[in-house]
Amino acid sequence: MSAPQKQEQLRRSVTPWGSYSWGYADVGADIFVALGLVFGAAAGATNVAFLFAGLVYVCVGLAYTELAAAYPVAGGGQYFVMRGLGDLPGFLAGWAVLLDFTIDITLFAWGTVGYLSHLPWLNGLDASGHPILHFWVIFALIAGLALLNVRGVRESSAFNGIVSAFDVVSELSILFFGFLFAFKPELLVHSMQFGWPTSFALMNGISLAIISFVGLESISHAAEETHRPASIVPRTSVALILTILIFALAYSNLALGMLPSHPVPLDASGHAQMFWHFLGTVGNQDKAVAVLASNIPLFGSIAALYVPVLGAVLLLISSNSGVFGSSRIAYSMSQFQLLPSLFERVHKKYKTPMVSILTFCGLAVIELVFAAFQGDKGYEFLGDLYAFGAAASYTLVFVALIALRLRDPLTPRAFKIPGNFKVKYRGEVCEIPLLGIVGFAGIFTILIFVLLTHQIGRIAGPSWLILGFLIYIVYRRKKGLPVFGSVRRDWTADQVKILRDAGELELMDELVQKLKVRGRTPGGAP
């Protein structure tokens, strides 16, 4: 079976800025939801938690950049893992990504409402003060996004670009004025010394910090719609990786060393608390960036009016990306016979994958109900599952990266992770990426942290994978397909077609020439 392809006009329309903003609309929103959660767990070591997760994220980002440039298709991690490791691992990777996408819908819709509640005239939407109204507003957002996606309406690349540009300028402004007017280096040192958490809390913070860097699937999604992705994707991806890493580290250090313009309320015990502790409290976790911005002297009075709105818009776009992404992944998996063909069905009028959209929006609502029953811990519950899905899928992507270096050494890689050593495998000289091994060790460690520190996450996350595996077994047996084996596919012919459709004719010719030297002529080659 060939890799599913989209229509030509959709594949060649994304510009370099469009590719960057597409990714930023997903990954850039993560700091808005993660900052308060990580401060609530890692306390004075929040910057260390972001640093560890950020270094792993760099490795993840480089892996996705190489894979997306070499295999510019929209399946993302699910496609890479299936191609490198087989159908069952590919299904598990895709199923873990689907968990993240459905959590994306709920978590970012929750964050949208949280940031809006920071506005004085909308504080009735706050989760801690008005939980019932808060629930129904989030439910309405999810239902509205489902309806819009069924009708075929989604965020445009141009709108993403405008919002991303405003947000980059806004976040840079917050950091500039924050470090200029409110930052005290000695307070940063004091916060780290006296607010250092226990080892368990630090592991918890690191496991939550990884959600600041989730959304790299968008790199591969954009690759299939980008002309000459082998040259454009690496540049925009590296820029995106550096942007998000700098923001995460800068915000965490700013908050730890910040003197706010407004008095910080006493904690529940009646004791004075540091500003960073205030950010990590339940009432501020879902709007931490807005709280931080509004507490910067002079600049805060202006930021209090626009940062909540800009954050809410960016989070709503990311929530919509969850709706669109989950339906796309499910649609792709059904075409590769990893999920029932039911998920390939499209609406007769709007030609959108209605079944997939409604199914995963329905799952997002179920997750919202579970989160609502957690009370004050509901937002953290969603963060737990988000971290599990990301860590599980990224772990498999690193294994797939190494497997594809061994199993598919002939495919040209316009971008390659630096730091490689050569081995001989099946008569071919292959390069093994050292950073890929380091990244695997790092993300697997974070996965262990998630399972160790999150009581609900270590039950709900693996349960999701077990449920998916049972569905997979029933479906594959019903269709007479191997459960632990893979359907035979001509990946070489697929790769020639993928490169030709992406406009990478030089790379296609290079691949065909290598094959001819070895006495192999793939189907579809010129």
For residue 189, how many C-alpha atoms fall within 13 Å in the half-sphere facing its CB? 3
Q: Give the pLDDT score at 13.
A: 46
Q: Give the pLDDT score at 380.
A: 85
Interior/surface letters 79-101, b for 16+ CB within 10 angstroms, e for the rest = bbbbbbbbbbbbbbbbbbbbbbb
Q: Give the pLDDT score at 11.
A: 39
Q: Give the pLDDT score at 264.
A: 75
pLDDT in tens, 80-129: 999 999 999 999 999 998 998 899 999 999 999 999 999 888 877 887 77
Q: Confirm or reject CATH 1.20.1740.10 for domain 8-489, answering yes or no.
A: yes
Using alpha carbons, select from 223, 192, 230, 225 the residue that is nearest to residue 43: 192
- Amino acid at residue number 313: V
Q: Where are the domains of the chain?
A: 8-489
Which residue numbers in the chain have pLDDT < 50?
Answer: 1-13
Using alpha carbons, select from 249, 292, 285 the residue that is nearest to residue 57: 249
Q: Give the pLDDT score at 2.
A: 44
Q: Provide the whole-model pTM.
A: 0.86
